[in-house]
Structure 1
């Protein structure tokens, strides 16, 4: 698909900012829409609006039209509904950055990797009356918010929709601090709490997911698509990789959590591995987790 004009909603930090830079450097005209909490990269158009304010969003966009919209910050069905209305007639293609968290509760212990068909959204209930405007509710319902946002767009948006379900993103300026949690605790000799039978999960490097989003924006396919590097890890594998890293002298103090006790960020009691067969068949070539994980660890070493 010929892509010359792209609107990015959000994109002020982490791999969203890299998406903007990759598009700009490829000669695409990029318009960034966000609240202005951080300056947009040079060489792009920056519009200021709160995407939750439909009137303000329409006013900021004016009569602009785009080949593709990349929505980095759609967390709720209410936000998806506003986007479906505001961008009707403004774009042919809409890409929502989603998450592996939409599969929460669907995997099973020692189960197979989760493909897109593991989550059937055709009949998924969408409730616009829930308190999605409350930050604490939205954060607690992160996976469900993303599921309902996907469902609303895929069922009712008046343009082609792609939802990119990203694996756990590592590397670079990771504001979540999840990988740093492990390098820090191992260096300090502090225990790392895990489930009795930690399960496999998928990961992707921040530059790779940015490339994937740009690639998907140029495509013609629709619907959900998984994005993850080849090679899954459980929490013990991750700790072992940190132990092997040059300069790491300590060893992980693995502590099996009792039922109901909190565990460390990447410990799961159900399969969180993603099947990327669809993306590969569509033509994207993923790296292997083992290729980039050492650099990601280096970036967050104490």
Structure 2
């Protein structure tokens, strides 16, 4: 039986990961601030991961085979985790994001961002919610850099594509499109609208579960095969809402719809494929993802 620690992970693909781990017979310890209980079968520790003393006290003398960090957003959080879990775990898996990549060739491989070369600035206002929201990719990039510079344990940074699917998608991004398609309102997109890579919520839970059992290290891209365009998303939603109409309109300035991009968000998943993970095809699961999220009654 493996001892697994999950930091955060009480919703969306995190709770699915925990369910997979417990079903496999792993002993799972979940750490969060106590706002919600973890899935059944997991040990629940309440701590503020931003408070080093709180985290140390909650953990006591516990050690783990693997830690999966679902909520590491800043270099400060990474520095605390690196200190606290050094000597407590044999491997550390951080959930990162496609947004660590800046505007680069599409599809982009892991070597486009080497965390060992990323400058870290813990003095930036990482505790400010607005700053963190607008610097999400940079926060993840610097968090990766902290682990890469002096990990204290072997680590993996799973760079996750945009996630779709499930009846518990809390982002409201597909609903944004559905609302406009139902009413025929214009869907704002940039003049040059790039496709992006995606992954189904069940597939990223499968990927993280698989990663826990592997021994590779460093950054790895997690994305289904095949990029999707905004038009393809709209077509899948319109098929679910046959009385609706998708009207895309390019805007030069101002806010555009989610999943419409003026820069590339396409990832090359060949490293994970070579390591043995069998990704699905995004176009194959997209209709299911739309049906799950929008529900039969929409």
TM-score band, normalised by shorter chain: over 0.9
In the other structure, the counterpart of 1:226 is 221
Shift of 1:112: 2.5
Name segments (4+ residues, structure 1) moved above 6 Å: none
In the other structure, the counterpart of 1:267 is 260
Choose the corresponding residue for 2:200, options 197, 201, 205: 205
Following the alignment from structure 1 to structure 2, what is the Cα–Cα distance between the partners of residues 96 and 248?
A: 41
Shift of 1:196: 1.4
SS of residue paired to 1:278? helix
Contact 1:101-1:143 at 8 Å conserved across structures: yes
SS of residue paired to 1:265? coil
In the other structure, the counterpart of 2:234 is 239
Contact 2:228-2:283 at 8 Å conserved across structures: no
Q: Cα RMSD between the aligned structures?
A: 1.1
In the other structure, the counterpart of 1:98 is 96
Contact 1:235-1:267 at 8 Å conserved across structures: yes
Residue correspondence of structure 1 range 1-302 to structure 2 within 5 A: 4-103=2-101, 105-107=102-104, 111-172=105-166, 173-245=168-240, 247-258=241-252, 260-301=253-294, 302=298
Contact 1:198-1:236 at 8 Å conserved across structures: no
TM-score (norm 1): 0.95
Contact 2:106-2:265 at 8 Å conserved across structures: no
Following the alignment from structure 2 to structure 1, what is the Cα–Cα distance between the partners of residues 24 and 235?
A: 39
Following the alignment from structure 2 to structure 1, what is the Cα–Cα distance between the partners of residues 193 and 273?
A: 27
Following the alignment from structure 1 to structure 2, what is the Cα–Cα distance between the partners of residues 232 and 249?
A: 27
Uncovered stretches (5+) of structure 1, i.e. residues with no partner: none
SS of residue paired to 1:91? coil
Shift of 1:79: 0.1
Following the alignment from structure 1 to structure 2, what is the Cα–Cα distance between the partners of residues 300 and 163?
A: 27
1:123-155 residue CA offsets vs partner (Å, 9 max, x unmatched): 210001111112121111111000000011111
Following the alignment from structure 2 to structure 1, what is the Cα–Cα distance between the partners of residues 134 and 35?
A: 23
SS of residue paired to 1:90? coil
SS of residue paired to 1:65? coil
Shift of 1:253: 1.1
Contact 2:7-2:71 at 8 Å conserved across structures: yes
Contact 2:197-2:224 at 8 Å conserved across structures: yes
TM-score (norm 2): 0.96
